């Protein structure tokens, strides 16, 4: 995957996360505690994901292959699988926290 696609997906996920925080804040009647908790977790996760993406981008390189008279560009990530997996796990943690916040347990109690 090229670094532009990775950065674009990161920006889209950040925008969707901000929308999710706004909707969860409205669901919890604009509770400051919930808002501060969501923003703190969101910033911690996506700052870490952004740093891991930047580190992964620094260690990647692209080069040109000439195969049977055709020019092909290829991309070497330089062993960034662990960084990719860590960023993916952090994003999943944020999604699970948002999911549990969206399950309003107060409505289930009599």
Average confidence (pLDDT) per 10 residues, the chain, 110 residues: 75 91 88 90 90 77 75 70 81 88 64
Angstrom distance (rounded) from CA 20 to CA 1: 27
Angstrom distance (rounded) from CA 89 to CA 81: 12
Quote the pLDDT of residue 64. 74
Quote the pLDDT of residue 19. 93
Are the beta carbons of 25 and 34 closer than 8 angstroms? yes
Quote the pLDDT of residue 109. 44
């Amino acid at each position: 995957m090229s670094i532009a696609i990775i950065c674009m997906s990161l920006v889209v996920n950040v925008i969707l996360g901000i929308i999710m925080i706004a909707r969860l804040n409205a669901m919890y009647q604009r509770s400051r505690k919930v808002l501060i908790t969501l923003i703190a977790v969101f910033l911690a996760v996506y700052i870490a994901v952004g740093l891991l993406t930047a580190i992964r981008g620094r260690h990647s390189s692209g080069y040109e292959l000439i195969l049977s008279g055709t020019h092909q560009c290829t991309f070497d990530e330089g062993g960034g699988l662990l960084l990719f997996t860590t960023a993916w796990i952090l994003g999943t943690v944020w999604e699970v926290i948002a999911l549990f916040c969206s399950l309003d347990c107060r409505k289930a109690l009599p």
